[in-house]
A = this chain, B = another copy of it.
Amino acid sequence: MKISVVRDILEANERIAQQNRELFDRNNLLVLNLMSSPGAGKTSLLERTIDALKNHISMGIIEGDIQSSRDAERIAQKGVPTVQINTGGACHLDGNMIRDTFEEFDFKALDLLVVENVGNLVCPAEFKVGEDFKVMILSVTEGDDKPAKYPLMFHESKVLLINKIDLLPYVDCSVGKIENESRKINPDQEIFRISCKTGEGLEEWYEWVKKRLKNKRIKSQ
């Protein structure tokens, strides 16, 4: 019985997420759903990405948290439109929550909307919000056994960013093992090794975003 309830919720969410996606497409807006465990570096990646791209493109950010607006405050300092969603206990964002932010944005003026999901390697993978792509971050401090243990997240994520590689000398973690195990689950996944602290590897991530922006504009013409 519990499973059927969850399925009803998932089906209802799929319909709303599809409606969101259609609105985003009509506005030629690339939407990324950014997911990770707590503290893997989602907000740090956003800060870096805004700094690198904001002179070239127009970005908006949705910040999802159980409560508090600390991440939104960090991001708003970068001068981009930022909307906070407090889920009030829910462990993931869903299509309805994203729809509730629409009147806060001028989507016609934006090129890229990034949704920073609640820090959780499980539930966010199940709930579409209307995104073009799911992007996940794994920190090397979490260990190299995570693809096998949280396969849905790795399966659903078009991009895997392996973060905090500056800490590799101090932790027991094989990045090669993460890559191999994740590609077993998701052979087409793009994987980048990065450090949001030192900036290493981030250029390739920015190039991936720029390429997707270009594809989105062409697709929507």
Contact = CB atoms under 8 A, between A and B. Distances in A.
A150 B37 contact: no
A70 interface: yes
Contact of A66 (B91, B151, B170): B151
Interface string A115-159: 000111111001000000000000101110110111110000000
Given A38-B37, A119-B37, A120-B91, A164 B149 contact: no
Nearest to A68: B148
A118 B120 CA distance: 11
A121 B38 CA distance: 7
Interface in A34-78: 37-40, 65-68, 70-71
B122 A121 contact: no
The listed residue with most B CB atoms (<10 A of its CB), out of A120, A151, A166, is A120
14 contacts: A2-B9, A5-B9, A37-B142, A38-B149, A39-B146, A65-B149, A66-B150, A68-B149, A70-B145, A70-B149, A120-B122, A120-B123, A141-B164, A167-B171
Contact of A118 (B2, B38, B122): B122
Contacts of A126: 89
B91 A151 contact: no
State how many copies of this chain the complex holds: 2
Contacts of A65: 149
A7 to B, nearest CB: 11
A8 to B, nearest CB: 9
A7 B68 CA distance: 23
A66 B37 CA distance: 15
Contact of A5 (B5, B66, B121, B151): B5
A151 B67 contact: yes
Contact of A122 (B5, B66, B152): B66
